Chains A and B, each alone.
Chain A
Amino acid sequence: MKTRKSLKIENISLIIACILFVCMFIAGSAVYDHFGSAATFLNLFNDNAYLIVVAVGITFVLLTGGIDISVSSVVAFTCVFSAYLLEKGWSAVIVIPLVLAVGLFNGFLIGYCVQEYRIQPFIITLASQFLLRGMCAVVSTISIPIDNAFYKEAALNKISFKFGRTNAKLYIYVFLALCIVFLAYYILKYTRFGRTVYAIGSNELSAGYMGLNVKWVKIGVYMISSFCAALGGIIFSFYTLAGYSLQNMGMELDAISSAVIGGTLLTGGVGNVLGSVVGVLIQGVIQTIVTYQNLNAWWTRVTIAALLCLFIILQRFISIRADKQKGKG
C-alpha cells in the first residue's frame, strides 16, 4: 500500500490555475506600464466581486453534478427589480432582504423540481433563466438609475491602502464577497451539509444509501446558488448604480467557466470554491490585458474559451493517468 499522499485532481488544477494567474499577471506587468501594481491587483476584486459571489454559489451546484444557468438572469432581475423599487421610494432595508428572498425562492423552486420531479437541471434552470429575464423587461425595458443613499454609500465606501508611493483601494462590498467565499469554504469543508454536497456529486445513490439527506442538500445547493446570484446582483447594482434588463447576458457561463478553470469537475464530487475565485481572477486578468491592449472586449471571451478547453482536456488527461496508475498498482 502506498502511503505517499498523492496530489488530488482538483489540487493539481488549482495549482496550475494559480501559476497561470501569477504568470499572466507578471507578463502583463512586464509588457504594460502601470499594470504591475497593487492597484491593478485589487481592482480585479473591485471589478469582479459580484462574479466571485455568483461563481462561489454556482460551485455548490456543480459539485453535486448539477448545473444552474439561471444565475445571470437572477443577477439582472435583482438589479432591475431593486432599482425599480428604490425608484418607487422603498427603503433599502426592505428591498435588499426582499430580492434575496426572491433569489432563495427561485432556487427552492429549481431544486424542488430537480429533486422531486427528476427534471434535468439544465432544462429547469433554462426555464428560470427565460422567466426572470422576461420579468426584467416586464418591470422595465430601459435602464433605471439608482439614487438611494444607502446604495450610494455602499457603492463608494472604500478602504485605501498605501503601497510605497502608490495608492490602492478596496471597496467595502469586496469584503462582503470575501466573507461569502470564506463561509462557503467553511461550509464545504467542515459541515455535514458541505460533505454531503461532495458525496452526492461523487455517487448520489451511495450518498442515499449512506443515510445522507440527499433530498434537502440537493434543494439546498440550488437555493445557495440562486441566493448568491441575488447577492451578486446587489453587489452589481452597487457597482453600476443602475438596473437594466439586458445586462449580464451570458454571465452564467463566466461563472461556470471560472469554477471549471479552478478545478471543479462538471461531473461533480471534485473541486472547491477557492478554485472558483482563482478562476474569476484569471478572467479578470485577461479582461485587464485586453483593455490595456486596446482590443475588442470579445477577445476576453475568445481567450477564456481557449483556456476552458485547455483545462477540461487537462483534467481529463490527469484522471485518465490516475486510472492507469491504479490499474498498475
Chain B
Amino acid sequence: MENTILRMEHIYKEYPGVKALNDVAFSLRAGEIHALLGENGAGKSTLIKVLTGVESKNAGTIEMDGKEISPKRPVDAQNAGISTVYQEVNLCPDLSVAENVFIGRELRKGMRIDWKRIHEKTRELLKDFGLSINVEERLDNYSVAVQQMIAIARAVDVKAKVLILDEPTSSLSAQEVKRLFDIMRMLRERGMGIIFVTHFLDQVYEVSDRITVLRNGTYIGTYDADKLPMIELVGKMIGKDYESLEAIPKLSGDRENVEELLRIENGTTGAITDISLSIGRGEVTGFSGLLGSGRSETARLIFGADRMTSGRTVMEGKEESIRNPLDAILHDIAFCPEDRKKEGIVGDLTIRENIVIALQSKRGVLHKISRKEADEIAERLIKELAIKTPSADQKIKNLSGGNQQKVLLARWLATDPKLLILDEPTRGIDVGAKAEIQKIVVELAKKGMSCVFISSELEEMERCCSKMFVLRNKKIVGELYGEEISQSAIMRLIAGEENV
C-alpha cells in the first residue's frame, strides 16, 4: 500500500444485543477521498465513533502512521491527527466564529488568550474556503452551510492528517455541495486523507477515489470508484440484486376508469392559488416539482394544515369542509410530514406509543385504546411493514432512519385511512429501506387505499406513481398518467416546455 496513513483491522464492537461491528477493516491513504458506504445500521457511524474515540471498540487495532492508537475520548483522536465534522454541525452557536475555530487550542500571549491574533488567523483560514465573513459574529447568525464550512475549517486547522466528513451534504443546496467538493479536492491536493460518509451515491462518484462498503456490521470490500458501477455498488450495499429492487409492480394508471376519492376545486391558501386536482381510489398520485414549487403546500391544503381561503373540497361525491388536521383525520385522511425528526416522531416514546398516537387522537381522548389493542396493532404493523426492532417497547429514537419512517407510516396505517399523504417519505434513508417503503406504498394502493406521494427524486416518482401532477411556481402545470410518466416528461413540464 502506498503511504497508508490510517489502518483499522479486525474491529469488533458490540452493544447489548447487537453486533454493530464484526471484524471490520478500513484503510485510508494520504491524499485520497475514501467513501464509506452502507445502509442505515450497517455500522458506518459506529466505525466512525470508534475511530474518533466517542465509543471504544471491543477488539481490533487502529494504526495511524504505523503506530497503534486507541482513542478513548474525542480529544485523543484529535491529538492523533483525526478530525471529524459530524452530520449535525457540532459547534457552539453562542460563541463567535473565530472562537469556534480555535477553542481548545487557543493562541496565547503569555497566559491570556490572544483574541486579536485568533481573529486574524480565522480570517486568513476562512479565506482559503472562500468565506469572507465577520469572524467576531456569533456562529448562529450564519447559515448551516457556512457553519459547516467553519466546522471543516476548524477540523482542518487542527493539523489533521485524517478528516472525517459524516453526511456533510445532507443539509446543503446543490451549489453549496459543489463548493464543499472543491474544498475537499483542495484538501486532497494537500495530502489529507478524507473519509466521506454519505447517502448520496452520485456524490460518491463525483469526488471519491475509493469506496468501502459495510453491510450489517460486516466488511464487504474496498473498491476503486471508477471500477465499480453504481448498480453493483447498490447491490453490495443492500445485498440483493438491484433488479429485484427495480421490480415494483406498476399500477395501471388508467385515465378513465378510476373512481374518484377526493377532488379539490380552485383551492387557494396563503401559499398557493387556484389548485384543482382529483385523486382516484387505489391510485398513487405524485406531486412533482422543484423545491418550493408548491408540492408540500398542496398536500397541506388537502390535509387542512393550511386553511383554504377559497375553493372547495369534494370527498366521495360530497362537499366537505376540512379546516384543520383533525377534520382531515376524521375524514380518513392521513399525512406524513416532510421533516421526520421535527414533525413526526416522538423520540422518547416507544414504538407502540408512536404507532397508536394518531389513532388515539382520531378516537378522542375519552376512548382510550387499551393496552391489549395497542399491542395488537403494533405487533401487526411491525410485522406487515417489517420494522426491524427487538420489540414494540423500544424507544423510537433508537431505530435507524428507515425504520423510524416505517413507524410513521404504521402510525397512519393504524388509523385505516382512505387517503395517505406522504411528503418525502424516503429522504435520508438508505436504498434498501427506500425500496421497501416504495413497495409498501404501491401495495397499499393495490388494496384500495389512495396515496399521495411527494418526492424530489424523479426516479422514485416514476417508479411508484400511477398518476402525477407537476407543479411549477405554486401552480399545477401538467397532469401525467400511467405510461406517460417518465423522468424526461416530468422535467420538461418542470422546465416549462408546453405540450408533453
Contact = CB atoms under 8 A, between A and B. Distances in A.
Interface of A: 1-6, 8, 186, 189-192, 195-196, 198-199, 201-203, 205-213, 269-270, 322, 326
Contacts of B73: 211
Contact of B94 (A1, A269, A326): A269
Contact of A210 (B54, B74, B113, B141): B74
Interface of B: 54, 73-75, 78-79, 84, 86, 90-95, 99, 103-104, 106, 111-113, 132-134, 136-138, 140-141, 154
Contacts of A1: 132-134
Nearest to B53: A211
27 contacts: A2-B134, A3-B134, A4-B134, A5-B134, A186-B112, A195-B95, A195-B99, A195-B113, A196-B104, A199-B95, A199-B103, A202-B92, A202-B93, A202-B95, A203-B92, A203-B93, A206-B91, A208-B74, A210-B91, A210-B92, A210-B103, A211-B75, A212-B103, A269-B92, A269-B94, A322-B141, A326-B141
A5 B96 CA distance: 11
A148 to B, nearest CB: 36
Contacts of B111: 190-191
A192 B91 contact: no
Name which of A192, A201, A205, A210 has the most chain B CB atoms within 10 A of its CB: A210
Contacts of A191: 111-113
Contacts of A202: 92-95
B138 A8 contact: yes
Given A6-B137, A192-B104, A211 B74 contact: yes
9 closest pairs, A vs B, by CB? Answer: A269-B94, A202-B92, A211-B75, A190-B112, A202-B94, A206-B90, A209-B90, A211-B78, A199-B92
Contacts of B106: 192, 195
Most chain B CB neighbours (cut-off 10 Å) among A192, A209, A213: A209
Contacts of B86: 209
Nearest to A192: B106
B159 to A, nearest CB: 13
A311 to B, nearest CB: 18
A211 B73 CA distance: 8
B140 A203 contact: no
Contact of A5 (B75, B78, B84, B137): B137
A277 to B, nearest CB: 21
B453 to A, nearest CB: 29
Nearest to B79: A211
A287 to B, nearest CB: 32
A193 B94 CA distance: 16
B167 to A, nearest CB: 15
Counting chain A CB atoms within 10 Å of each CB, the highest count among B94, B99, B132, B140 belongs to B94
Nearest to B155: A210
B212 to A, nearest CB: 23
A69 to B, nearest CB: 24
A206 B136 contact: no
Given A195-B113, A211-B73, A211-B75, 20 more contacts: A1-B132, A2-B134, A4-B134, A5-B136, A190-B112, A190-B113, A191-B113, A195-B99, A196-B103, A196-B104, A199-B92, A199-B95, A202-B92, A202-B94, A206-B91, A206-B92, A209-B54, A209-B74, A210-B104, A211-B104
Output the residue of B91, B103, B140 with the most chain A CB within 10 A: B103
A5 B138 CA distance: 10
A304 B104 CA distance: 38
Nearest to B93: A202
A30 B377 CA distance: 74
A326 B140 contact: yes
A185 to B, nearest CB: 12
A195 to B, nearest CB: 5
A6 B141 CA distance: 10
Nearest to A204: B92
A201 to B, nearest CB: 7
Contacts of A189: 113
Nearest to B134: A3
B71 to A, nearest CB: 11
B84 A209 contact: yes
A213 B104 CA distance: 9
A198 B84 contact: no
Contacts of A207: 92
B265 to A, nearest CB: 34
Contacts of B94: 198, 201-202, 269-270
Contacts of B79: 211
Nearest to B158: A211
A208 B103 CA distance: 11
